[in-house]
Structure 1
Amino acid sequence: MTLPKQYVSRASTLQESLAAVAKLPWILAEAITRWGEIEVIVRKREKHRSQEQNKLQRKWCKEAAAQGDMTAEEYRGYCKLHFGVPILRRDSEAFREVYDRLIRPRDYAEKLELMMEPLDFQVTRLMTTAQKGEYLDAMWTHFTGLGFRLTDPNLKGMDPSQYKEAA
């Protein structure tokens, strides 16, 4: 049987916290039985990327595909490799270790392929909302710098003729 690397409980209200604490004796006993020594950590939860951020990323990849020479999935893989990987390598020792061991030694074409479906190496799924915001900013800068027109997230629902022009 594969054991989990960690037990995680999230709470944002006192009631949720008390429910999590009620489970704690069993979790601690199970963890000590399985691993011997354990470490208990309480920290501020970092919220992960939002659905709106995901939708915007996908929309921009489709818009890039309509204007460029790659498919939306190829642009998604490109962005994950060029913008997402550096953010996560900078911010996560665990991500950096796995990426550097498994992906970094490969040639560029293989790295791009690993970022896309069907393998889809996790990058943006691991991001916080702040990291995903940084990622989207990098996408915006890159594509508009190439002359692509992307939907301005501040103009949700507006006609494409009203998109913000690249500066």
Structure 2
Amino acid sequence: MSKPKQYVSRAGTLQEALATVAKLAGVVTEAIGRWGEVEIIVRKREKRRSWEQNKLQRLWCKEAATQGDMDAEEYRGYCKYHFGLRILCRDSETYRQACKQVLGGLTYEQRLLLMQEPHDYPVTRGMTTVQKREYLDLCWQHFTGLGFRLTDPNLKGMDPAQYKEAA
């Protein structure tokens, strides 16, 4: 039997929270009818990785491709496998178990291919900004340690104000 879909609502202001509360009675009624029992959780929302962080990651992979022996997508897959999985598996038992199930029987080469398009195993898209910062730091250390020249993370090739949460 498949896991039922969760109901998630996010609020950043009191007005948004009150709008969510107004919908709650209908959502809870439907959920109880569907599942019998429900659990209602209110918690601090962890911000997901930013568009700017993702853009920086892609830029670095393109830059590495001009200096190394792989294309940008291969470097992206390499980083997701070697750095991203480590972070997410460390921080989530659920993610760690899912990785064991999906990746456990695959060869190293198959795992790297799974990280890349067209498969694109989800790694960085589930990261918080803090996790993505750590990931970018690891990518920077890896590539610059190999002697690659990347866009300076303090400038990031764009307006530095856009990258406050990046490494």
Would you call these one fold, judging by a TM-score over 0.5? yes
TM-score, with length taken from structure 1: 0.90
- The number of residues matched between the two structures is 157
Confirm or deny that 1:102 pairs with 2:66. Answer: no
Instruction: Give the corresponding residue for 1:153.
Output: 153
Which aligned runs of 4 or more in structure 1 are off by greater than 4 angstroms?
none
Q: Deviations over 1:20-79 (max 9, x none)?
A: 000000110111111111111000000000111011000000000000000000000000
Greater relative contact order (Cα 8 A, min sep 6): structure 1 or 2?
A: 2
Counterpart amino acid of residue 110 in structure 1: Q
Counterpart amino acid of residue 124 in structure 2: T
Q: 99-108 or 53-62: which moved more?
A: 99-108
Q: Distance in 2 between matches of 1:155 and 1:118?
A: 31
Shift of 1:155: 2.1
TM-score, with length taken from structure 2: 0.90
Q: Distance in 2 between matches of 1:4 and 1:50?
A: 28
**Equivalent position SS for 2:140:** helix
Matches within 5 A, 1:1-167: 4-157=4-157
**Equivalent position SS for 2:12:** coil
Q: 32-41 or 124-133: which moved more?
A: 32-41
Structure 1's unaligned 5+ residue stretches are 159-167
Instruction: Give the corresponding residue for 1:164.
Output: none
1:51/1:92 CA distance change after superposition, 3 Å: same
1:3/1:30 CA distance change after superposition, 3 Å: farther
Q: Distance in 2 between matches of 1:27 and 1:63?
A: 47
Structure 2's unaligned 5+ residue stretches are 159-167
Q: Distance in 1 between matches of 2:59 and 2:4?
A: 35
Instruction: Give the corresponding residue for 1:161.
Output: none
Shift of 1:4: 4.3
Identity %: 69
Q: Distance in 2 between matches of 1:106 and 1:136?
A: 26
Counterpart amino acid of residue 96 in structure 1: R
Q: Deviations over 1:113-161 (max 9, x none)?
A: 1000001000000000000000000000001000001111212448xxx
Shift of 1:3: 6.9
Q: Distance in 2 between matches of 1:108 and 1:80?
A: 13
Counterpart amino acid of residue 47 in structure 1: K
**Equivalent position SS for 1:151:** coil
Q: Could you say what the CA RMSD is over the residues aligned between the two structures, in angstroms?
A: 1.3
* Contact 1:64/1:150 (<8 A) preserved: yes
* Contact 2:57/2:136 (<8 A) preserved: yes
